[in-house]
């Protein structure tokens, strides 16, 4: 096939490999050969233009797709007998048998690695994948394990692609395991049905703008309209695809007749619009549960086995709660700020749902109730800490509590407190007593880091009961460290609990 004349086509440069990503705006000479041979001939004639010098021989026809107006040939890249994941060239041929578009995702020859033999067998990689997902052999059915090269920012890694099918609840995961180190390179939920878009606060406009004064009117009232900088556009993952905010991990179905529906799954609302609170709850609950899964609570160790239901307009009062009987989150629309407009309020209530899912009816005693409120505050503060300016680092619900001017800066609560167990008052409000536990958990996070602290704290709930105490909670965290980290942090944890007057923790 004759090469295209210079200037008769457009080139879209690629960002990652330094080679053209697309070639378009042309019509080649008419081809007589079948589509696969035509594609190979065109790519061969333009290998220098496409940056394919030295890898042309590694491109194999993988599939020819027939649409109404064209034939689309996929040429897959291979290396030493293994497929290079997401590395391919597609050649698009019109009904007139002329090539009109080429897309290039092939890895250039200069970036291909040397020979790297695997250290893990496919069976060992399968065990790594199951262990990472928290699944036993009896719970899963595995499909064919494929050896391939997986692209990362620093180059290709020899890896295994493993597909795991879970019987109950029904799940299908694709896991990529490094064939040399055994590290998990990626995991993918293969049953996710739809992806949507939303406009949300992350976590709220106070944090986004960096100053609570910027979200107040000249008269000192909370603003209902906010600058674009207060919002972020996000992806909504795992949607059922019915136009509602129903998904694998969360559903707003209890909201009832006022629910929003968008057939295109674009929930791009402002805070003053109906539907904004629904989008907030869906995004933040879904992301928080995915985070829990990422630190190990997945598969048979998953905390939530069904979508968490949420009513975003449950009451006209300024109150939100989690109902153990309904296993449902409920958010109030009273006060100057709707509760579900603040993601920290959402995650505080999700903290109660998490505790109830692990330990049903958690919070039946004064200390347990306070621990529930303290954990909810900690969970919200920990999740969003990296997004906050220093002044707001330990505040919780700074938008929901924008008029709580007795706090500086305004917020519902601040968990950076020196309170010890000596100040616990069984007749006091559990939210106030909860600050002792929240501050203790925050001390652990500061000492051990977010992920380690969160894993130990969540894990500790599995040995608690509805009438637990601070001392038992402390002991459970130390036990969790013994089980997960071989006691690596025992001394540091003991010092923290001792400083807070919490014990005994033998």
The stretch 48-71 carries a mean pLDDT of 92
Choice among 19-28, 136-145, 370-379 with the minimum mean pLDDT = 136-145
Let me know: does 350 contact 359? Beta carbons within 8 Å: no
pLDDT of residue 142: 62
Residue for token pair 């959402």: 346
The stretch 418-445 carries a mean pLDDT of 96
Distance between CA atoms of residues 376 and 224, nearest Å: 27
Sheet holding 194-200, edge to edge: 232-239, 194-200, 266-267
The stretch 36-58 carries a mean pLDDT of 94
Whether the per-residue pLDDT at 168 is higher than 80: the answer is no
Query: Per this entry, what is the length of the chain?
Result: 506
pLDDT of residue 167: 67
pLDDT of residue 160: 97
pLDDT of residue 431: 96
Distance between CA atoms of residues 135 and 342, nearest Å: 35
The stretch 386-403 carries a mean pLDDT of 97
**Percent of the chain whose predicted confidence (pLDDT) is above 90:** 82
pLDDT of residue 193: 61
pLDDT of residue 290: 94
pLDDT band (50, 70, 90) for residue 153: confident
Q: 3-class DSSP state for residue 99?
A: strand
pLDDT in tens, 207-236: 999 999 999 999 999 999 999 999 999 999
First to last CA, the chain: 80
Domains and CATH numbers, the chain: 10-111 (3.10.450), 122-189 (3.10.450), 195-336 (no CATH), 366-499 (1.10.390.10)
Tokens coding 14: 């690629």
Choice among 43-57, 159-173, 305-319 with the minimum mean pLDDT = 159-173
- Measured in degrees and rounded to the nearest 5, phi and psi for residue 101 equal -160, 140
Let me know: does 413 contact 384? Beta carbons within 8 Å: no
**Percent of the chain whose predicted confidence (pLDDT) is above 70:** 97
Q: Per-residue b/e over 268-283, b at no fewer than 16 CB within 10 Å?
A: bbebeeebbbbbbbbb
pLDDT band (50, 70, 90) for residue 204: very high
Let me know: does 75 contact 39? Beta carbons within 8 Å: yes
pLDDT of residue 191: 65
Let me know: does 115 contact 80? Beta carbons within 8 Å: yes
Whether the per-residue pLDDT at 258 is higher than 90: the answer is no
Let me know: does 298 contact 188? Beta carbons within 8 Å: no
pLDDT in tens, 118-147: 999 999 999 999 888 887 777 677 667 999
Tokens coding 490: 């025992």
Distance between CA atoms of residues 189 and 172, nearest Å: 6
């Amino acid at each position: 096939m004759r090469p295209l004349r210079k200037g008769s086509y457009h080139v879209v440069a690629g960002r990652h490999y330094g080679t053209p990503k697309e070639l378009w705006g042309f019509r080649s000479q008419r081809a007589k050969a079948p589509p696969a041979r035509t594609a190979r001939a065109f790519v061969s004639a333009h290998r220098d233009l496409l940056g394919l010098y030295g890898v042309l021989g590694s491109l194999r026809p993988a599939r020819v797709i027939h649409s109404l107006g064209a034939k689309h040939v996929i040429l897959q890249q291979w290396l030493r007998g293994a497929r290079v994941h997401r590395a391919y060239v597609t050649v698009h041929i019109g009904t007139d048998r002329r090539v009109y578009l080429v897309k290039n995702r092939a890895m250039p020859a200069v970036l291909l690695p040397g020979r790297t033999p695997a250290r893990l067998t496919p069976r060992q990689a399968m065990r790594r994948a199951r262990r990472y997902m928290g699944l036993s052999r009896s719970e899963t059915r595995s499909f064919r394990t494929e050896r391939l090269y997986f692209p990362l920012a620093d180059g290709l890694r020899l890896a295994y692609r493993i597909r795991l099918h879970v019987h109950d609840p029904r799940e299908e995961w694709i896991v990529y395991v490094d064939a040399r180190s055994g590290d998990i390179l990626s995991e993918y939920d293969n049953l996710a049905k739809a992806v949507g878009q939303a406009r949300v606060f992350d976590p709220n406009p106070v944090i986004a703008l960096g100053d609570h004064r910027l979200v107040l009117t000249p008269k000192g009232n909370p603003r209902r309209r906010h600058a674009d900088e207060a919002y972020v556009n996000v992806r909504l993952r795992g949607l059922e695809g019915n136009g509602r905010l129903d998904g694998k991990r969360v559903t707003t179905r209890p909201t009832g007749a006022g629910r929003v529906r968008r057939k295109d799954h674009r929930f791009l609302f402002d805070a003053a619009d109906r539907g904004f609170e629904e989008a907030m709850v869906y995004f933040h609950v879904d992301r928080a549960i995915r985070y829990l899964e990422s630190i190990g609570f997945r598969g048979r160790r998953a905390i939530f086995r069904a979508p968490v239901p949420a009513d975003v307009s449950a009451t006209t009062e300024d109150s939100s709660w989690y109902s153990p009987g309904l296993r449902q989150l409920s958010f109030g629309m009273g006060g100057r700020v709707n509760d579900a407009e603040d993601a920290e309020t959402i995650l505080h209530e999700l903290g109660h749902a998490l505790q109830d899912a692990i330990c049903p009816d958690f919070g039946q005693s004064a200390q347990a109730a306070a621990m529930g409120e303290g954990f909810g505050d900690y969970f919200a503060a920990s999740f969003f800490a990296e997004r906050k300016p220093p002044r707001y680092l330990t505040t919780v619900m700074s938008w929901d509590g924008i008029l709580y001017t007795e706090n500086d800066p305004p917020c519902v609560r601040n968990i950076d407190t020196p309170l010890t167990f000596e100040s616990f008052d069984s007749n006091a409000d559990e939210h106030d007593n909860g600050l002792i536990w929240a501050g203790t958990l925050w001390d652990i996070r500061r000492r051990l880091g977010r992920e380690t602290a969160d894993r130990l704290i969540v894990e500790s709930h599995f040995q608690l009961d509805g009438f637990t105490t601070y001392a038992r909670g402390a002991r459970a965290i130390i036990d969790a460290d013994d089980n997960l980290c071989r006691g690596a942090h025992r001394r540091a944890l003991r010092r923290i609990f001792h400083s807070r007057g919490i014990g005994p923790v033998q």
